[in-house]
Structure 1
Amino acid sequence: MNEFVNDKLDETRTNLVKEITLLSNAQFNCKPAMDVWSIAQVCHHLVLVEESSVKAIAWGLREIDNTQKERKNVQLILLDRTKKIKAPKIVEPDVEPFEVKQIMDLLNDSRTKLMTLLSSIEDKSILTERSVRHPALGELPLDQWVEQIYLHEQRHTEQIQEIKLLLVAGH
């Protein structure tokens, strides 16, 4: 990937970690409302999305008959938080409580898998030439699968900031 993408992946992950590092496990797992995920669940969802994205990209790289599809404005779609996107079942978080450190480890593992996959690709241009269907965004070129990881994380980091405000207001 290019340096911009690597920087964006690092930047959004740093921002996410900053938001959750100092939380107690109780704050981390507290749901501000019945129909709202806890911060822990949001983070688990991010891990599941990153892991699923790695699998999708790897699958797309192996597919031979894979014609290039139109590019989408992933940033516009994902960063517009007025439009709720229902998480597909495969990336819905567990309801069991998590510890902050446990989630940090999972986040590190999923990012290592992503970076290992990306560094194994000799000719990065293949990422713009192949595509795989994304459950929320439709057919998506592989480089945009990578882009959606950090944009999605940015979207949910904003959500975490809002949940934290709700937790403060509720106590």
Structure 2
Amino acid sequence: MSKFVNDNLYETRNNLIEEIASLSYAQFNNQPSMNKWSIAQVCHHLVLVEKASIKAIAWGLKEIDRSQKERKKVQLILDRTKKIQAPKIVEPDGEPFEVQQIIDLLSDSRKKLMTFLSTIEDTSILTEKSVNHPAFGELPLDQWIELIYLHEQRHIEQIKEIKLFID
């Protein structure tokens, strides 16, 4: 995995932790409205997405097809004017969370991601294989990895907005 991707995964996660670490239980779990997620739910969603991404990449690596896949403009995920419906599998729990509980879940899912990625001997294979992504369709595996931190950046902006309504 490239240093650029590694640095972005690290930096984005640190930014996320900085945004949530000082929140009270009430701030963390307050839903701005009935159809909006709390900050805790946004963070739980990020944990679920990271875990699902590991499974998708692992599945894609086992596939035999090695035809070059079209690269997508995954940076479009940062455009928050475009609403993306989360697949059921990555919808957060409705139950409240403690801030430290979520930080631990985020740490655990990131550790699992980095451990999994370190087992890939030839990372060039990530550009050669692909898996269907719920928002982007057939997507090269290296772009799945890139989407983890881009998706997190999208939700950090959402968390900043939620914080404006809960203080």
Common fold by TM > 0.5 = yes
Question: For residue 131 of structure 2, what is the aligned residue in structure 1?
Answer: 132
Alignment of 1:1-171 (within 5 A): 1-75=1-75, 77-168=76-167
One-letter amino acid of the counterpart of residue 146, structure 2: E
* Aligned-partner SS, 1:143: helix
What is the count of residue pairs matched by the alignment? 167
Report the Cα distance in structure 2 between the residues aligned to 1:65 and 1:55, rounded to whole angstroms: 18
* Aligned-partner SS, 2:138: strand
Q: Tell me how far 1:120 sits from its aligned partner.
A: 0.5
Q: Tell me how far 1:67 sits from its aligned partner.
A: 2.6
What CA deviation, in whole Å up to 9, does each residue of 1:63-122 have, x standing for no partner? 1124331000101x2010000000000000000001111111110111011101111011
* Aligned-partner SS, 2:65: coil
Report the Cα distance in structure 2 between the residues aligned to 1:8 and 1:129, rounded to whole angstroms: 22
* Aligned-partner SS, 1:43: helix
Report the Cα distance in structure 1 between the residues aligned to 2:66 and 2:27, rounded to whole angstroms: 45
Report the identity percentage.
Answer: 74
Report the Cα distance in structure 2 between the residues aligned to 1:68 and 1:92, rounded to whole angstroms: 31
State TM-score, norm by structure 1: 0.96
Q: Tell me how far 1:62 sits from its aligned partner.
A: 1.1
Unmatched 5+ stretches in structure 2? none
Report the Cα distance in structure 1 between the residues aligned to 2:166 and 2:25, rounded to whole angstroms: 13
- The RMSD of aligned alpha carbons is 0.7
Displaced runs of 4 or more, over 3 A? none
State TM-score, norm by structure 2: 0.98
What CA deviation, in whole Å up to 9, does each residue of 1:5-49 have, x standing for no partner? 000001100100000000011110000111110000000000000
Report the Cα distance in structure 2 between the residues aligned to 1:66 and 1:91, rounded to whole angstroms: 28
